[in-house]
Amino acid sequence: MDEISNHNLPGVISAVSVQKNDKERYSIFVDDEFLIGIAEHTLLKFNLAKGDTITPSLFRKLQRQEGRSVVKSYMMKLLGRRDHARKELFTKAIRKDYEKDVIEDVLNELQQKGYLNEAKFADKFASDKSRLNKWGPQKIKSHLFKKGIPNKIAEQSIQKTFEDVDLKQRFLDLVLKRKRRFLREEDVYKRKKKVVDHLARKGYRPGNIFDHIDELMEAIAQ
């Protein structure tokens, strides 16, 4: 953010001019000396014009508003690429050295306006990971937890995602892709353990796996 920290304030705005490299930003001059560069919406929000007085308090408000605008612009850019969980955005913004209270303030606004929706994010994440990566409920829940999604929302998304999934067919698809590898193990009990371990690493619950283990072992042996 452009600023001169040792400028004597209060002072009178002597000029407001559009910046050459960015037509949506304005340079504020006080007593014919550059003070700060601000976005157009900041200029309009504070209704600044030539002849107005800039006090130290108003200057700090302008600085905070500009800082907030930068944070909001950064987060909107991230959300434009893909959905994010609140914790993800917070972590990325902190890494950019933005102020914590400004980050929280912007996140609250984005959430209130619907740009940030934890349930929508969780639904899409769970659906994508199940459909594209064939992850099971446990693995999806673990990753949602790491992203800061509340347990209740995670559980609802997982239930919605798997309500129409045929687990037996999903298991068959996963193990038959590794059929040759499983057949290298001649000991049947060790082979079964490898199958169970493989599906468990994918995030499927042991109870669901054992419900179909005999059929899976037969399919591998054929």
Radius of gyration of the chain (CA): 28
Q: Is the domain of 16 the same as that of 109?
A: yes
Q: Residue 127 sits in a domain of what CATH number?
A: 1.10.10
Distance between CA atoms of residues 12 and 55, nearest Å = 9
Q: Residue 12 sits in a domain of what CATH number?
A: 1.10.10.10
Q: Is the domain of 16 the same as that of 90?
A: yes
Residue with tokens 């600085």: 63
Instruction: Name the helix (H) or strand (E) containing 197.
Output: helix 188-201
Domain span at residue 172 reads: 167-221
Q: Is the domain of 28 the same as that of 48?
A: yes
Beta strands, E only, the chain: 11-18, 25-30, 33-39, 53-54
Residue with tokens 């980050």: 103
pLDDT in tens, 16-49: 999 888 888 899 999 899 998 888 888 998 999 9
Q: Is the domain of 108 the same as that of 141?
A: no
> Which pairing describes strands 53-54 and 11-18: parallel, antiparallel, or unpaired?
antiparallel
Residue 14: C-alpha distances to residues 64, 77, 119, 142 (Å) = 22, 35, 50, 57
State which of 113, 148, 182 marks the end of a domain.
113
Q: Is the domain of 9 the same as that of 47?
A: yes
What contacts 46, CB < 8 A, 6 or more positions away?
A: 58, 61, 62, 65
Q: pLDDT value at position 23?
A: 85
Q: Is the domain of 12 the same as that of 88?
A: yes
- State the Cα torsion 81-86-89-92 to the nearest 10°: -140
Q: What is the DSSP-derived secondary structure letter of residue 22? A: -
Q: pLDDT value at position 4?
A: 43
Q: Is the domain of 106 the same as that of 156?
A: no
Q: pLDDT value at position 3?
A: 43
Distance between CA atoms of residues 51 and 11, nearest Å = 9
pLDDT at 222 over 90: no
Per-residue confidence band for 148, with pLDDT thresholds at 50, 70 and 90? very high
Residue with tokens 């917070």: 90
Q: How many domains does the chain have?
A: 3
State which of 113, 129, 155 marks the end of a domain.
113
